[in-house]
Amino acid sequence: MLYLVHMVVDIPKDMPADEAAKLKEVEKNYSQDLQRDGRWSELWRVVGQYANYSVFDVDGNAELQEILSNLPLFPYMTITVTPLAPHPSRI
């Protein structure tokens, strides 16, 4: 089941640089594990913004919530979730 997810990141300006760097590293690993197992199926940068559009392929709402709420950057993100369905014109 697919969801389009929009994530905007806003790390506090006063977070120490090394703490931020470490957090981003953990986030990257977390994301790549989910990409490898196929649940985080698309990940694009929005041009000009510290934001991404992602597509998740999961069992449903609960699994998506589990994944998103455990994002290391979750406390610093504004997330919007759009449930997707097959389009009748899709080949």
Binding footprint of a second copy on the chain (CB under 8 A): 1-5, 12-13, 27-28, 31-32, 35-36, 42-49, 52-53, 60-62, 64-66, 68-69, 75-76, 79-91
Closer residue to a second copy in complex, CB, 18/48: 48
Instruction: Tell me the two tokens of residue 57.
Output: 């392929």
Which of residues 22 and 75 has its CB atom nearest to a second copy in the complex? 75
Q: Angle at Cα 28 formed by Cα 15 and Cα 84, nearest 5°?
A: 110
Answer whether 77's CB lies under 8 Å from 24's CB.
no
Rounded to a whole number of angstroms, the minimum distance from the CB of residue 56 to a second copy is 10
- For residue 80, give both structure tokens: 């919007």
